[in-house]
Structure 1
Amino acid sequence: MQSIDFNLFKFNLFDVLDVLLVALLIYQLYNLIRGTIAANIFIGLAMVCLLYFVVRALNMRLLTGILGNFMNVGIIAVIVVFQQEIRRFLLLVGRNASLQRNRAWWRYFLGKTDVEKDNYKRIKPIIDACKSMKQTHTGALIVFVKDYDEQIYQNSCEVMEAKISKRLIESIFQKNGPLHDGAVIISGNKIKSASCILPLTDNTDLPPQFGLRHRAGIGVTEANDATAIIVSEETGEISYAKQGRVKMNISFAELEKLLNKDY
């Protein structure tokens, strides 16, 4: 009778840690592409890989050669196709490595209550402006970025470097104003620029009522470590976009929670 080698089933602490880290990495990658066009691309690449192994097993030499050439440059193809998702993943890793440590120091020295009060002072003018624009059906797109890249935004924006205030945000998005057509970029405690032209999302599964403002707000969160508030000009509905996904018709209480968490 053949004996079973039980050494194959022995695990140590590092094996468990290895599995947990791989699971965490896969989960983070899934969160990055979930609900975006990248998910469909990933499924397409997986189907091509599966087809390659099938035709190779069936000894179909022509298809094996064609798909084999694709497999040989597979890593390069993945980097090219998923460059935005890879960039967002690296930004996420870097942000968690630095800001989470700083946040812990803030809470240690100032206390959690003081930090929450400081955050509320920062977001209150934004929420008040959104309330006013919702009532008047004033279309708006407000983008929050962790790291303001001048090369990306200043080429298509009007530089402001202004203190955040309710009246300033409202005046920017007035329908007859020269800066209303585009997005406002906020970083830190300042409005960095206005009237910004942003790239549109390639996602084809969005609701049909979404116009250019919504598609631009979703698109900027796909390509950058950013979040966006979109106020609909037609309905006054407020939406919140993050990592290429959007929450529609959110309340002001929910908006405050989201801004406290992300901004």
Structure 2
Amino acid sequence: METLSIIQNLRVQDVLDVAFLSVVAYHLYLWFQGTRALKAMVGLLGLGAVYTLARSWGLFLTTWVFQVFWQVLVILLIILFQSEIRQVLERLNPVKLLGIRKMTPPEAWIGDFVNGVFQLARRSIGALVVVERSERVQGHITPGQVMEAAPTPEILLSIFQKDSPLHDGAVIVADGRIRQVATYLPLSSEKDL
């Protein structure tokens, strides 16, 4: 009988509310799939189920412990998963979603860049180069020296010469320009590599 009364009192807003939250939950699942955060979310859902059972059974002490635990847990999760949270917020950036970011066409710089990389390879000079596209790398790297230069063969050769103070680390190329040198890339958190 109670289910029937819920269905009879169902409004369009309720259906839209459930549909919206379902879409948000699905996209969060897709974004966090294969990360530490997904495992943590599954664990939190399990704890949420235990908390709900404790409340429905009238276990006051257990309910109180969970209420205190949730307050501390929110702060702890923000600290532990700040990089994943940052990635989600960057994906939700309205400027990025609208495609407003102005980029230099690759034809203007890619030829010189590829020529420089091949010259490094011919001379057996190792080089780490990150070409930034739609996904910003700022939150993932240890910043090095800021540089504003075209990625020409001469510049790349001078950066990666063994005696250069900038040769350790990676070069970040964004919008057709060298933006940073001597940056350090993070180790992968993937355990399957």
Task: Name the TM-score class by shorter chain.
Answer: 0.5 to 0.7
Distance 1:30 1:199, change over 3 A: same
Which of the residues 88, 94, 97 maps onto 2:95?
Answer: 97
- In the alignment, structure 1 residue 7 sits paired with structure 2 residue 28: no
Alignment match, 2:106: 119
Q: Is the 8 A contact 1:125 1:166 kept in 2?
A: yes
Partner secondary structure for residue 100 of structure 2: helix
Letter matched to residue 196 of structure 1: T
Alignment deviations for residues 190-243 of structure 1 (CA, whole Å, 9 cap, x no partner): 211201134445x25142xxxxxxxxxxxxxxxxxxxxxxxxxxxxxxxxxxxx
Alignment match, 1:42: 41
Alignment match, 2:168: 181
Partner secondary structure for residue 28 of structure 1: helix
Mapping of residues 217-228 of structure 1, within 5 Å: none
Q: Distance in 2 between matches of 1:76 and 1:147?
A: 26
Alignment match, 2:181: 194
Letter matched to residue 183 of structure 2: C
Alignment deviations for residues 27-71 of structure 1 (CA, whole Å, 9 cap, x no partner): 332233222222222233233323333445566555444333112
Partner secondary structure for residue 179 of structure 1: coil
**Identity of counterpart residues, as a percentage?**
28
Q: TM-score, normalised by structure 2?
A: 0.66
* Structure 2: stretches of 5+ with no match in the other structure: none
Alignment match, 1:159: 146
Distance 1:185 1:73, change over 3 A: same
Q: How far did residue 184 of structure 1 move?
A: 1.2
> Greater CA radius of gyration, 1 or 2?
2
Which of the residues 138, 141, 144 maps onto 2:132?
Answer: 144
Alignment match, 2:191: 205
Q: Distance in 1 between matches of 2:112 and 2:16?
A: 45
Letter matched to residue 100 of structure 1: L
Q: Is the 8 A contact 2:125 2:161 kept in 1?
A: no
Partner secondary structure for residue 102 of structure 1: coil
Letter matched to residue 97 of structure 1: V
Letter matched to residue 174 of structure 2: S
Distance 1:58 1:88, change over 3 A: same
Superposed CA RMSD in Å reads 4.2
Q: How far did residue 183 of structure 1 move?
A: 1.7
Alignment match, 1:246: none
Alignment match, 1:256: none
Q: Distance in 2 between matches of 1:7 and 1:160?
A: 65
Q: How far did residue 93 of structure 1 move?
A: 1.9
* Structure 1: stretches of 5+ with no match in the other structure: 107-114, 208-263
Distance 1:70 1:139, change over 3 A: same
Q: Distance in 1 between matches of 2:80 and 2:191?
A: 19
Q: TM-score, normalised by structure 1?
A: 0.52
Mapping of residues 17-36 of structure 1, within 5 Å: 17-36=16-35
Q: Distance in 1 between matches of 2:41 and 2:56?
A: 23
Q: Is the 8 A contact 2:132 2:173 kept in 1?
A: yes
Q: Is the 8 A contact 1:141 1:184 kept in 2?
A: yes
Of residues 121-130 and 45-54 in structure 1, the stretch that sits farther from structure 2 once superposed is 121-130
Partner secondary structure for residue 186 of structure 1: strand
Letter matched to residue 7 of structure 1: Q
Alignment deviations for residues 89-129 of structure 1 (CA, whole Å, 9 cap, x no partner): 222222x43563537xx8xxxxxxxx9x9334344444555
